[in-house]
Amino acid sequence: MRAAALICAGVVSAASLCTPQGRVFLSVERDLTRKIPLALSVAGDDRDAMGRLAGVIRQDLAFSGWFAPTVVPRQPQKFPSETEIVLAVTQAGAALEVSAYSPADTNALYSRTYPWPASDLRAAAHRIADDAVAALTGRPGIACTRIAFTMKQETLRIGVVDYDGYGETTVAAPPGDCLSPSWFFGKDALVFVCAQGGASSVMTVELRTGTLRRLYAGAAVCGRPAVNPKWPELAVPLGFSGNPDIYRLGREGKELLRLTISPVIDSSPCFSPDGERIAFVSDRSGSPQVYVMRRDGRDVRRVSFGVPHASSPAWSPDGEVLAYAVRRRGGSGIFVRNMSSGAVRELAPDEVWLEEPSWAPDSRHLVCTAVREFRRNLCVVDSFTGERRMLLPDGERFSAAWSP
C-alpha cells in the first residue's frame, strides 16, 4: 500500500508492491511508466474455453497499466528472458487454481481457487485479473467495473458498458432526454437527470430490474448529481430562479440544503473520497474556475489558477488528485492537481479535445469525453503514462461515470 502515497509523483522509489495484507512480493525502484513483464500460462481440458479465458485475462492485465503480459504454453521449458512474474491458471476438476511466482523462485507469491466451469467466462476472467492486480500491486483492479454514459439517439439516453467496451446496453428510462448519470451508492443503480417538456428532475434506476424512481422535482436541475461516498446524500446544482447554486439533497430526495449563495453560476459538484469536501465550478472570479468547500458550504477556496476556463472536477478515489477540464487554444485538455503539493500537470497534451473526466477505482485511469471529427465519444486515459484507448467505436457518447 506504500506505493499509493507515491503514485502522483510518477515514480515508486524503493516501493513495495504488495498484498492488501502487507506481504511484500516485489521491492523495486520503478518508473511507473514501465510495465512489469508477466508470463500468463492457462491450461485445462477445454482448450477453447482456456484460450478465451487467457485472452480476457491477458487484456485485463494489459489494461491495468501495471503489466506487459504474454501468453505462454503451460510449463514452458524457458520463460521469456524479461519475465519478472508468472501467473499460472490451471483447471483442476471443478476448480481453477491460480498462482503467481517469480521464475527465479517457484514459491507462490499468492494463490487462489475459483469454481469452474464458470457461468460467465468473461466475469470469471475479470475476477482473476482483478485479484492478481490487487495481490501483486496493492492497488484495486478495474476489470470488474462498468462505465455509465449519455448516448445520443433520437433523444438522449443512458448507456452502460463494461470497462473494456464489451456488452453495451441501454438503460430503462422515462420519455424525454436522460443524461448526466452517476452511480447511486454502489454498482447496482444510477442517478441521472431527466428533462421533458421544459421541466427537469433527478431520477434513479435499478439496473437489474429497470425500476425507475423520481428522486427530486421542484427546480431546474442544472447538471450531474454527485453522490457522497460516505454519507447518504447527494450534491445537485439547482436553479430556483436565475443562476444555479449547489444544494445538498438526502438520499431519499428530502432534506434539501442550500450550500452556495451567489449571484453567479455554481455547478458541477463532486465529493471528495472521505465525503467531507465538495469540488465545484463557479464563475465568481469572472470566468469558470474550480473551487473546494466543506460539505456544509463553508471554507470555500479556489484551486484552479492560470487557466481561462476550468470545468468538470473529478476527485481521484485515493484523494490525492483532482482532475478537471481546461479550455485552451484550439480545444480542451485534462489537468490534474496534486491536492497535497498543489503541483499541476496536463494529461495527454497532444490530444486536441478531452473533457468531462471520471476516475476509475484504481486512481490511475480516467474515462473522458473525446471530441474527434466533430463527434463526441469516450476515451480511457492512463494518467501515469498518457496512453489512451477509445472505449467504443461508432456513435456519439459523452458525460461518463466510472463505477466504484
Rounded Cα distance between 132 and 67, Å, is: 11
Structure-model confidence comparison of residues 8 and 255, the more confident one: 255
Query: Kindly report the CA angle at 169 between 366 and 144, in degrees rounded to 5?
Result: 45
In 3-state terms, what secondary structure has residue 377? strand
Band of pLDDT at residue 27, cut at 50, 70 and 90: very low
Position 4 scores a pLDDT of 33
Position 17 scores a pLDDT of 47
Position 107 scores a pLDDT of 85
Question: Any residues with CB less than 8 A from the CB of 285 and at least 6 apart, and which?
Answer: 302
Position 76 scores a pLDDT of 65
Band of pLDDT at residue 242, cut at 50, 70 and 90: confident
CATH of span 2-137: 3.40.50
Q: How much is the average pLDDT of 256-275?
A: 96
Rounded Cα distance between 274 and 109, Å, is: 32
| In the chain, where the domains are located | 2-137, 146-402
Q: How much is the average pLDDT of 210-218?
A: 96
Looking at residue 258, its amino acid is: R
Question: Any residues with CB less than 8 A from the CB of 271 and at least 6 apart, and which?
Answer: 226, 227, 228, 229, 230, 235, 277, 278, 295, 315
Q: 3-state DSSP helix/strand/coil percent for the chain, to nearest 5? A: 10, 50, 40
Q: Point out the least confidently predicted range of 4-8, 287-291, 375-379.
A: 4-8
Mean pLDDT in the chain?
90
Q: How much is the average pLDDT of 55-72?
A: 97
- φ, ψ for residue 48 (rounded to 5)? -65, -50
Q: Which of the listed CATH numbers 2.60.40.60, 2.120.10.30, 3.40.50.720, 3.30.365.10 matches domain 146-402?
A: 2.120.10.30
Q: How far apart are the two ends of the chain, measured CA to CA in Å?
A: 19
Asked if the model's pLDDT at residue 34 lies above 90, the reply is no
83-130, pLDDT tens digit by residue? 999 999 999 999 999 999 998 887 899 999 999 998 999 999 999 999
DSSP state of 184: -
Q: How much is the average pLDDT of 166-195?
A: 96
Q: DSSP string spanning 81-95? A: TT--EEEEEEE-SSE
Asked if the model's pLDDT at residue 8 lies above 50, the reply is no
Question: Any residues with CB less than 8 A from the CB of 291 and at least 6 apart, and which?
Answer: 279, 280, 281, 282, 284, 300, 301, 302, 303
298-351, pLDDT tens digit by residue? 999 999 999 999 999 999 999 999 999 999 888 999 999 999 999 999 998 888
Looking at residue 233, its amino acid is: E
Rounded Cα distance between 343 and 346, Å, is: 11
**Residue 255 corresponds to which cell in the numbers above?**
432534506
> Alpha helix (H) ranges present in 93-250?
121-137
135-166, pLDDT tens digit by residue? 999 999 999 999 999 999 999 999 999 999 99
In 3-state terms, what secondary structure has residue 1? coil
Question: pLDDT > 70: what percent of the chain?
Answer: 91
Q: At what angle do helices 121-137 and 47-63 cross, to 10 degrees?
A: 40
Asked if the model's pLDDT at residue 30 lies above 60, the reply is no
Q: pTM to 2 decimals?
A: 0.92
Q: DSSP string spanning 260-303? A: ---SS-EEEEEE-TTSSEEEEEE-TTSS-EEEEEETTS-S-EE-
Position 262 scores a pLDDT of 86
Q: How much is the average pLDDT of 237-263?
A: 94
Structure-model confidence comparison of residues 334 and 78, the more confident one: 334
In contact, 127 and 113? CB cutoff 8 Å: no
Asked if the model's pLDDT at residue 216 lies above 50, the reply is yes
Structure-model confidence comparison of residues 262 and 367, the more confident one: 367
- Number of CB atoms found within 10 A of residue 75's CB: 9
Rounded Cα distance between 16 and 249, Å, is: 41
